[in-house]
């Protein structure tokens, strides 16, 4: 009976196994699966909601700071669309899983070019983003904080429940939004569940909605 978190290297992949009592499958970052490659190929390209929220114009390759990298899916999709992506993850355990997923992506000829557009940091974006901004201000800061779900609803994906079991809820999201608005060059995008209220702070300029999610877009006007 496993009653603690365990990082295991399984078939060349780093996996986090959670205590049996959580009844959750292991979590890992894997960009090399057929289903994720299908998502990259058929996800709608630069017309998909995530790309429109980021403001991806034809041929543009903005620098995106993914301040809440998690298992890296959204950031990897943006890199596949041509963005330069700086990912930052505060949890050393989730960072280790993500680093391992990116390492394997670099060894996959179909994904190598995308993985090369990604740089990964471990730490709190509140501290790392202002440091990065000193040398290269990101065009876009992307936020996807954990949303506090009170119930273990079947609607909340098992993977998200596992992630929450490791990192807890994000309680500093409003502060992170404030820092992002200061540090971003053109816009801040915050992914929220479709029915969620805005993060506290200024209201977004507009939102792009999907059946499950909403991307709140904050435009930066600098003189």
Ligand X SMILES: C[S@@+](CC[C@H](N)C(=O)[O-])C[C@H]1O[C@@H](n2cnc3c(N)ncnc32)[C@H](O)[C@@H]1O
Spell out, one character per residue from 122 to 151, where the chain touches ligand X: x when CB under 6 A holds, - when not: --xxx-----------------xxx-----
The smaller minimum CB distance to ligand X, of residues 90 and 184, is found at 90
Please tell me the distance from the alpha carbon of residue 18 to that of residue 9, in angstroms, as a whole number.
14
Binds ligand X by CB under 6 A, chosen from 22, 43, 165, 170: 170
Site for ligand X in 61-90 (CB under 6 A): 67-68, 70-74, 88-90
Q: Which two tokens stand for residue 108?
A: 């996959």
Cα 82 to Cα 78, 96, 102, 207: the distances in Å are 7, 24, 16, 22
When CB distances to ligand X are compared, the closest residue is 70
Instruction: Decide: is 167 part of the binding site for ligand X (CB under 6 A).
Output: yes
Q: At what angle do helices 158-167 and 92-106 cross, to 10 degrees?
A: 130
Please tell me the distance from the alpha carbon of residue 29 to that of residue 63, in angstroms, as a whole number.
22
Q: Beta-strand (E) ranges in 33-122?
A: 63-66, 84-89, 118-122
The smaller minimum CB distance to ligand X, of residues 26 and 172, is found at 172
Shortest distance, CB of residue 142 to ligand X, whole angstroms? 8
Instruction: Decide: is 99 part of the binding site for ligand X (CB under 6 A).
Output: no
Instruction: Decide: is 156 part of the binding site for ligand X (CB under 6 A).
Output: no
Size of interface with ligand X, in residues (CB under 6 A) = 23
The smaller minimum CB distance to ligand X, of residues 61 and 126, is found at 126
Please tell me the distance from the alpha carbon of residue 178 to that of residue 172, in angstroms, as a whole number.
10
Q: Which two tokens stand for residue 154?
A: 């079947």
Q: Is the dihedral of CA 93, 94, 96, 101 positive or negative?
A: positive
List of residues contacting ligand X (CB under 6 A): 67-68, 70-74, 88-91, 94, 124-126, 144-146, 163, 167, 170, 172, 176
């Amino acid at each position: 009976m496993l009653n603690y978190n365990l990082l295991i290297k399984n078939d060349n992949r780093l996996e986090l196994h959670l205590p049996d009592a959580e009844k959750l499958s292991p979590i890992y970052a894997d960009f090399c699966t057929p289903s994720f490659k299908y998502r990259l190929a058929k996800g709608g390209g630069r017309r998909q909601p995530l790309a429109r929220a980021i403001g991806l114009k034809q041929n543009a390759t903005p620098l995106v700071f993914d301040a809440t990298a998690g298992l890296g899916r959204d950031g990897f999709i943006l890199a596949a669309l041509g963005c330069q992506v700086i990912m930052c993850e505060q949890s050393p355990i989730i960072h280790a899983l993500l680093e391992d997923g990116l390492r394997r992506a670099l060894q996959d000829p179909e994904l190598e070019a995308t993985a090369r557009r990604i740089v990964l940091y471990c730490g709190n974006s509140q501290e790392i983003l202002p440091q990065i901004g000193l040398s290269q201000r990101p065009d876009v800061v992307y936020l996807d904080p954990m949303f506090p779900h009170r119930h273990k609803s079947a609607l909340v994906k098992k993977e998200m429940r596992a992630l929450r079991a490791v990192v807890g809820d994000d309680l500093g999201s409003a502060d992170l939004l404030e820092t992002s608005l200061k540090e971003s060059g053109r816009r801040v995008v915050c992914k929220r569940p479709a029915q969620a209220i805005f993060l506290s702070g200024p209201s977004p300029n507009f939102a792009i909605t999907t059946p499950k999610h909403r991307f709140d877009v904050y435009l930066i006007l600098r003189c």
